[in-house]
Amino acid sequence: MLVIVAPGQGAQSPGFLTPWLESPEFRARFEWLSTVASLDLIHYGTDADAETIRRTEIAQPLLVATGLVAALGIFPHPTDAFGKVSAVAGHSVGELTAAAGARVITAEQAMVLVRERGKAMAEAAAVTETGMTAVLGGDPDEVLATIEKHGLTAANNNAPGQVVAAGTLAQLQALADEPPAKARLTPLSVAGAFHTVHMEPAVGHLANLARSVSVHDPRTRFVSNKDGQVVHDGRDVLRRIVGQIAHPVRWDLCLDTFADLGVTGLLEMPPAGTLTGIAKRALRGVETFALKSPDQLDEARAFCDKHGEFTEIDTTPTWRMVVSPAKGTFHVDPQAADADVLSSGSPIGEVASLRDRIVVTAAHGGQVVEWLVEDGDLVSPGQPLIRLHPEGGAA
């Protein structure tokens, strides 16, 4: 089972785009995405220095564009991907790359959104002097308690032993003066406290733009940074991506979902290395592939062939499926069980786990074709629960 992931801000380095531009085809694609983003991505990916590409409004479009172009290198015919890729996910801004890869939004929509996201987050970061510090090691509960004690936010909970604290510079200094036991602190070279309340102004700006963006339901499982849930409603995917700007990234929960899915192979899009490094420590037995340059594309395709399998999610226009967002026990809603037609947004049941109970709704509604599970069944993330025929036309 194959999952493809896209890295977030901080993965870029000076000149990392250079080998990709040796191909006229790849260069042409970068020129097109540069035009869409109103940024000279080729310059920033080749000649610009580390300080320049650290800027939020530059780093984010550069990363998303690179992931999109590399994806076409692996899957020249995107529809081929949907028969092999079991799930996609992105870390922070990488969620836009993943959403485009899952066909929730187009590449052009992703570039416009990431351009505006980067600008809005840079403006929000300029209001107050804030920053981020990686907290490595230590007792996980003590680390989180200490971060909260100092008024900070665990903005990135990447895996056990790898948490990023974010807040004002004064709060970060207090953390440095009184760190958790047996933990190592590393200040990060970022422009502000991303994924905290300090980013709320950016959420509002992007939310206004997102209202005009047309979306489609994912063609493969989309694993959300918000809570590690599998999301199969395109509108919900976009809402979550927008809201995530000011809320913590729970990559640890995404890793849990990968394990629940039974993932055997994880491929990281360029500039790769960060997420595969985390996966090697957190997902024992899962083979990883860090795609860093185009001369690895043949190996990447072979890796996808090795781990790819037929995905259960289909988008045949004559019906829709509602899928489970997480691992747990499914309990059918009594009213849904007796219904022939479900209205948009009506609940079909709950998925109960040791952690919580998640209500599952029929986002689009429709006529019940068949139930694919029974009350009390154990379900896995992304497992189809019910098949619906759209009311009033094709999906």
Tens of pLDDT along 80-100? 777 799 999 999 999 999 999
- Among 165, 117, 108, 106, which residue's Cα sits nearest to residue 138? 165
The two three-digit tokens of residue 260, written as one number: 């629940």
Of 187, 210, 225, the one marking the end of a domain is 187
pLDDT-flagged residues of the chain (< 70): 310-318, 392-395
Q: Is 249 helix (H, G, I), strand (E, B) or coil?
A: strand
Do both 380 and 240 map to the same domain? no
Determine, yes or no, domain membership for 312: no
Please tell me the distance from the alpha carbon of residue 74 to that of residue 96, in angstroms, as a whole number.
18
Do both 100 and 134 map to the same domain? no
Contact 226, 250 (CB under 8 A): yes
Do both 207 and 299 map to the same domain? yes
Do both 220 and 120 map to the same domain? yes
Q: Which of 86, 91, 150, 195 is catalytic?
A: 195
Determine, yes or no, domain membership for 253: yes
Tens of pLDDT along 4-63? 999 999 899 999 999 999 999 999 999 999 999 999 999 999 999 999 999 999 999 999
The total of structural domains in the chain comes to 3
Tokens 């220095």 belong to residue: 49
Do both 39 and 119 map to the same domain? yes
User: What is the domain-level CATH number for residue 324?
Assistant: 2.40.50.100
Determine, yes or no, domain membership for 394: no
- Report CA 56 to chain centroid distance, whole Å: 18
User: What is the domain-level CATH number for residue 178?
Assistant: 3.30.70.250
Do both 114 and 163 map to the same domain? no
CA distances from 138 to 131, 205, 340, 347 (A): 21, 37, 53, 41
Provide the pLDDT for residue 294.
96
Determine, yes or no, domain membership for 49: yes
Determine, yes or no, domain membership for 192: no
Of 187, 209, 231, the one marking the end of a domain is 187
Please tell me the distance from the alpha carbon of residue 303 to that of residue 251, in angstroms, as a whole number.
23
User: What is the domain-level CATH number for residue 254?
Assistant: 3.40.366.10
Of 187, 209, 226, the one marking the end of a domain is 187
Provide the pLDDT for residue 311.
58
- Among 341, 128, 94, 323, which residue's Cα sits nearest to residue 225? 94
Q: Which of 92, 150, 224, 324 is catalytic?
A: 92
Do both 120 and 134 map to the same domain? no
Alpha helices in 38-105 (DSSP H): 41-46, 50-53, 56-74, 94-101
Contact 385, 348 (CB under 8 A): yes
Determine, yes or no, domain membership for 313: no
Active site residue 195: yes
Contact 184, 137 (CB under 8 A): yes
Do both 77 and 224 map to the same domain? yes
- Cis ω on the peptide bond leading into residue 271 (within 30° of 0)? yes
> Dihedrals φ, ψ of 168, to 5°?
-70, 160
Do both 149 and 298 map to the same domain? no
Do both 167 and 208 map to the same domain? no
Determine, yes or no, domain membership for 315: no
Provide the pLDDT for residue 390.
84
Contact 139, 262 (CB under 8 A): no
Do both 80 and 210 map to the same domain? yes
Q: Are strands 183-187 and 130-137 parallel, antiparallel or unpaired?
A: antiparallel
Q: Which domain does 71 fall in, by range?
A: 2-124+197-307
Determine, yes or no, domain membership for 395: no
Do both 229 and 277 map to the same domain? yes
CA distances from 55 to 10, 12, 40, 45, 350 (A): 10, 11, 14, 13, 43
Active site residue 92: yes
